Structure 1
Amino acid sequence: MVSKETAFSQIKESGNLTTLPEILLKLLSICENENPTVTEMADIISHDPVLCARVLQLANSAYYGFRDPYCTIDQVIGHLGINAIKNLAVTMSIHQVRGNNHLDPAMFWYRSLLCACIAEKLARYEGNTSTDEAYLAGLLHNIGQLTLATAFPAQFAAIAANAKNSAADLLILEEQLFGMHHCEAGARLVRDWNVNPLIADAILCHHLPLAKIEEAFPLVKIVYTANALTRNVIDSTSGYDIGTVLLKIGRQELGKMSMEAKTEVDTIALNMSIQLSINSFKENLPHNVQENSNAGQARPVVSGANPSENSNREEPHRKSVQDKIAARVTNFALLSSFLEDLTEADDIQAVLAAFEKSVNILLGTGNTLFFFPDDSGVLLKGETSSRNILHNMCHSLTLPVNQSTSRIVQAFSRSGQSGYISGKEGDNSLADRQILSLLRCETAMYFPLTVKTQTIGVVVLGLPLHQDSLSENDFQLARSLTQQTALALQVEKIKEQREKEIHSERMEAISVTARKFAHEINNPLGIIANYLAAIKIKLGQDQNLQEDLDTVDEEIRRISKMVSQMQMFSQAPFADFEPVDINQVAADLIRIAKTSFFDYPQPNISFEPGSDIPPIITSKDAVKQILINLVKNAAEAVPPHERITVSTVKCSGTDTLDQHHIRIIVSDTGPGLSDVVKNNLFKPFVTTKQNGHSGLGLSVVHKTVNDIGGKISCSSEPGHGTTFTIALPLKASKPLTGRIE
């Protein structure tokens, strides 16, 4: 025998009560919805004693602890929050897979809910007691028995074997072994929660002799009567006399309430797919222990069906539901691995790659395509990660949002529902048939990527050949993956937008400062340079003085050069757009660079012109400015005799630019760049060079490329050189003229 305090401590520490798998599966399904509501969750939890107890226990924890009493599940869920209930559901799922407490869960659930519904009706009829508190007390009236069975499974099984035909036998054996019976265990547990203390009293007293209840408060009488009427419904015992004595309610009214409550519970069981047979139910005690209305006398079991036959019928169904819960638990574990990959993704490309990897491993799907709206919202454009085999061809996939009959467009703009594209269906749009061909599958499934009420894109998964749908479990997993991916993509887009705004604000501030600075510095610099020239003439041929003056003159020119670079930020964008032969511009610049840009010994510089490079509509001066800065930057970075190569190539649409474009590539075999330098590459006033470099050269290049509608990127590894790639559209849109104020 253990002491009462030791037993109760173990009850509180065990905590892993298990409920009917059908109910838990319903709660998990609600939790997996994109926007579950408190009402939906409360509707499930309020119909189950175990979930109700776990929620009350959680609300009473040190982290969540309520200060004011509560009596409704809606109140508790509203306080805890939906995410807390989701976490609780997942935790209970894990314990459900492993749990076993030697109690029939269907019998326990049915008795508890029936007692709650009857208690609620009795309180409404009585008129002075809260119906919510009566319902809660009835639902939890037998929770102590479940806690003992969970905390002491082996000992409880021994009690079940030794208890004969009396509830009194069970209570005595419980008290002998645990120092308390299940009524006291339940009452002590509930008393620790922030509920009306009379609820705990009702639980404590529901097995006392009738004579001791006559002086109790109404809530205790109501639960006592509800428990007796519950036995009456299930076992055909006589509970009506108790209701007449305690609550002065006639037998006919008590019978009506009992049957209405039974109908409600039967309907709930049907809606939750709980298989049970009332005729095979016995009192919720081990084996064949029964109670009569005097709580202590034995009576024979009355059964309209063979219990073992009924158990055999329920076994396959119960195992099927348990298997579904086990699959959900597996999904949660798999999803956690995917979430780890998402947390490490630092840009949109990494998010796409994480999703593609996960669906391929977890679902066995084939190729994956994303579709996102363009800046104007007129087109949906194909996208994948750079690792995807469809990456180079997906950018030519565009779907007009307002005109296309594609199901992908419909998922994005109208229905917002997931669905299938099947090659067997004859009403597919041409675009959808081509997407199936591109994915090399007979059936594809699409999911809208939705954050709250905003759809930010659509993802299409190619299913393996000869598979025309996902299983229910795989569908739930795929939906969870897409929901998390949508959220991660939205976060990355917000980050990118904010970075652009910060960069724009920084450049505007630099522009204003540059204009003021250049104006204030250029005038005195010009005067100093003129006076210096005059002094050099007057001093004649004094060699030492002339060398000193040359040094001063060199520094003045360096300051003037820095000011000129700063002025680039405030000048109007290049506006003289014309047909430009990129190969000719690059060849002329390389010829000049070989004689003007480098000190001796100089690096080897070469030009590799691409074939079939057409003239592009752009600013010739801008292209020159870009090449001059990049080539000089490379020349200053590489040691003597290393190589600098400028090349050109014509490309189709890629992730760099959607349309056909020309690439100018400037690469070197120098020391390369570290990650820290690459992350700050195009920021003004950031430089790793010495000798007074301003750190403005690459910032000027970045601004100029943007001014003429192009994009610039850099790839570099320490010890493996650096490559700058400029993508210029064949026909650029002219920028707005005028200075940036």
Structure 2
Amino acid sequence: MPEASVSPQPFDSTDLLALPALPAVVGELLAAFDDENVDVQTLAHIIGRDAIISARMLTVANSAAYHSRAPRVSSLERTLTVLGLETAKTIALTTAIHQTFSKLRGIPAADMDRFWRHALGCAHLAQRLAQTTAYPAPDEAYLCGLLHDLGKLVIGVRHPTALQEVRVRTRSRDDIPTLERQLFGADHCELGATLVESWRLRSFLADAIRFHHQAAEELRGAHPLLRLLHVANTLSQDGELDDAACIGADSLFGLTPALLRQLRAESAREMVLLATSLGIAKSVMVVSDELATPLSPTRTRLDRSVQELTLVNGVQAEMGQADDETALLESVARCATILFDLGEVHFFLPEPQTGMLHSHDPGVLREFVIDPAGAENVVTRALRDQRISHSLAEESTGAGIVDRQLARLWGTDGVLCLPLHTATEFLGGLVAGVSQAQLPRLLAQNRLLHLFAAEVAGHLDTLRQRERRRNRAHEDRRLLEQQRLRAVLHEAANPLTILRNYLHLLTVKLGEPSVQDDLRVLREETERVGRILLRLSDQGGDREATGPVDLNATVRDLARVLDDALCRPRGIRLVLELADGIPPLAKGGDAIRQIVLNLVRNAAEALGQSSSGAITLATRDNINWHGRSYVELVVADNGPGLPDEQRARLFQPTTSAKGGEHAGLGLAIVRNLTEELDGSVSCRSNSGGGLIFQVLLPRPGSG
């Protein structure tokens, strides 16, 4: 048999999506998730039948996305509790989607059957041995047995005949790791241990996998989990139980050959039933390369596109549940781990005031500040080029100081940045720790990474727009409350002045007969003050004025608030040109205040910080339009203005306000409020630059 060629690329133990899962387990797990009454114990039992799905669940639960809640223990039930059922279901779904569309490497079906039989048999024996020897965590022992040979599949997906070659050439089980290193450049013990080590468990599970082929005498005195896996692996081999295995088990645990045979027989009976239920004897999950029908390049591209879109759609629900930015970023980190098997996923987002990029993660990452105009690193390159950037390039410009710091912090070979941006705005970067082995696989998924980035940017932008609308509504309420308070306090000043005058008169008239009348007036005015001040504490009900509305007084009162809050801080002059003699309007005091507030705010945002900017509020009477008389309210500015085609869509609620554009939800509200008052609103260019908004309100008695 010819020597297998050793690939120059390092093995990527973290690429669990490339490893074949048992279809029966995936199907049973998805069906279980559809059962609203399913419990964690049942799910953990199903997951525990498949090493790949178990490893994927542990990978996500122990990733950076769960640092604050990570189990750090090797328990599937605890892992499911940390993940939550929705995330666990997403992991199962992405595993199913990936393996439905992917043409997995051609590991022969017989070799896969043998692998799964041995893995499950070893898991059951490890659990029974743990119970027999009073090891306090039998579930951990089961998981250790289930995962102990994962490294064989890591080798097998690159060298499909590896399992068979090693089996044919091996003279002794202890020779397997040495032979694998000779043939393939790595052994399955080290590859499996490397994967488990990336989870940073508080467990000896990784060491147990690394040393399970060591001789029994070398494991005497070692941690019980290392000894348990060694014995379970020995007992679960095909063929009769030999003397060497019995001697080893006796030296490590003092177990008799009779007890070992009993445990082995009980496990064998269970395996017959389990293998039948899982369809291991007639596995069809992997086909050999010789029997596989070649696909045309067009069909391959189509399958890949459908797979990518389906995978992205599969994680949309996970991201869509977030109701604030922190929750969204946590969800994105989980989804990145699910889709790409990334263990360290973090975000650097620009600060609005300075443009500097900061991490929102707790701990030492908060101390990192990336200047987009500073020294080059993967984040600044991703921002500048709007494409994926990484620090593992061969050229000397590959890694900046920040890149090397982050790689050391995360214990990875390098870092990769996925830029997050919309058509008009850079939102930040998703930064992940990557190994040299992971990089080729990630770069090969360039399109999927970009689809994922676009989905993340869309969710982040939507969330921020929603937050801006909430903040704007809150600010509107605050400004209107401030104006209302000013008006109420002004109204309260008149009776208080009368009170002061009458108190003065009382000091003069005290003792005269007319004092009783004076005291009556004092009581009446005091009661009026009480009623006015009571209105200040009125937080509910309809605040719309029920009587006539003095347009000029309403505009003048609100202008004082807007000048203080919006205009003067930006260096903008607020000019009032209010016509005399405008009759009281029939209704709409609150609506008019909201209209003025939105139009002045939009004008102020269009002008920005401007030493020459000006906003004019003007009123006029007796405007005739379509045979009806109106009162006119004008808000004009001398800002940059808008092209005609943008003005035509100005009052649509879907229009986005960016930079100097007078647009967005505020103008849709202006239109709706004006129409509720039976008026109209329009916009035209200002001859001196900027825009003029004209609001026409029905004049009393105009019909």
Q: Return the TM-score normalized by structure 1.
A: 0.41
**Greater C-alpha Rg:** 1
Structure showing greater relative contact order (alpha-carbon pairs closer than 8 Å, 6 or more residues apart): 2
Q: TM-score, normalized by length of structure 2?
A: 0.43
